Amino acid sequence: MGSSTAEQLRESFVDEQIARLEERLRREQDVPPQLLHGWVEDARGRFAGASVTSFLPILVERLVRARLKAGAVADAAAWAKRLLENELPRRWQHSQGVAGRAAEIARLLPRDEGQVLVVSAWLHDIGYAAEVADTGFHQLDGARYLARHGVPRRVCALVAHHAGAAAVAELNGLSGELAEFEDERGVVRDALWYCDMTTSPDGAHMSFDERMAELRARRGPDDPVVRALDRNGDERAAAVRRTEEFLRRHGR
């Protein structure tokens, strides 16, 4: 057997082993398949040109599992950064502010609930990105994009309904489409709305009233988001008030 043939057989064996590794990790982990595949390929690329490849699957697994341990929050932040930082820098600043406030509130929640809140906060506005936008209704577009990429349904739903999306959907004739995602009621949902509606476009903290005034001035009276305030302004305010009461109960 020639050396080139032997090399091809070794490469084929390594390819098979890594494919099995990826399939196993996909079954074990609640991570979007495309994201997991990218991590596997990135890990493998670090050993490109290595003279010994027999241990490559083990090394790739170690790197990927280390990345998994970094947590869903870091992945969500990186994903949002990729989609928003260069294309929509102000939206990226806002998202960072929302996620920062969400991280503060998350400390008061059970660990899993806090993680859902922070992940949703990082991803809540990705529907504005060109790669994601479809209908022009950013909450729905973001939620559908995340669902296609295997993100947990609860996070998708929180993104879909944040900031009173139902009223905007009604004005745009998209209520049926938004109904693909359940609108949960509770502390996490209220907190996400609160974080979004008390953070300026530049990521600074501001009061709810200031944020609503800013939104009206920036978008103008004919924008569906502004028109929706006449329908759901009270619902938004109630979510903010409940979150403020929750924070007061915890001494914040």
Q: Measuring CA to CA, how many Å separate 144 from each of 19, 137, 180, 236? A: 27, 11, 9, 23
Domain boundaries, position 234: 72-249
Task: Based on the fold, state whether residues 26 and 147 are members of the same structural domain.
Answer: no
Under a CB-based contact definition with an 8 Å cutoff, are residues 146 and 156 in contact? yes
Task: Based on the fold, state whether residues 96 and 207 are members of the same structural domain.
Answer: yes
211: which residues sit within 8 A by CB, 6+ positions away? 197, 198, 199, 200
Residue with tokens 């800013």: 214
- Which of 24, 47, 69 terminates a domain? The answer is 69
Task: Based on the fold, state whether residues 45 and 110 are members of the same structural domain.
Answer: no
Q: Measuring CA to CA, how many Å separate 15 from each of 40, 105, 162? A: 11, 44, 42
Task: Based on the fold, state whether residues 10 and 109 are members of the same structural domain.
Answer: no
27: which residues sit within 8 A by CB, 6+ positions away? none
- Which of 69, 96, 120 terminates a domain? The answer is 69
Task: Based on the fold, state whether residues 98 and 130 are members of the same structural domain.
Answer: yes
Residue with tokens 């406030």: 101
What CATH code is carried by the domain that includes residue 204?
1.10.3210
Task: Based on the fold, state whether residues 133 and 228 are members of the same structural domain.
Answer: yes
Q: How many domains does the chain have?
A: 2
Task: Based on the fold, state whether residues 18 and 111 are members of the same structural domain.
Answer: no
The helix/strand/coil state of 102 is helix
**Per-residue pLDDT of the chain in tens (252 residues, 90 and over written 9):** 455 665 666 778 888 999 999 999 888 876 667 667 877 888 888 887 776 677 888 888 988 887 676 567 778 998 999 999 999 999 999 999 999 999 999 999 998 899 899 999 999 999 999 999 999 999 999 999 999 988 889 999 999 999 999 999 999 999 999 999 999 999 999 999 999 999 999 999 999 999 999 999 999 999 999 999 999 999 999 999 999 999 999 988
Under a CB-based contact definition with an 8 Å cutoff, are residues 14 and 57 in contact? yes
Q: How many residues does the chain have?
A: 252
C-alpha dihedral, 82 to 88 to 91 to 95, nearest 10°: 10
How many other C-beta atoms can be found within 10 angstroms of the C-beta atom of residue 71? 13
Q: What share of the chain is helix, strand, coil (3-state, %, to 5)?
A: 70, 0, 25
User: pTM for the full model?
Assistant: 0.74
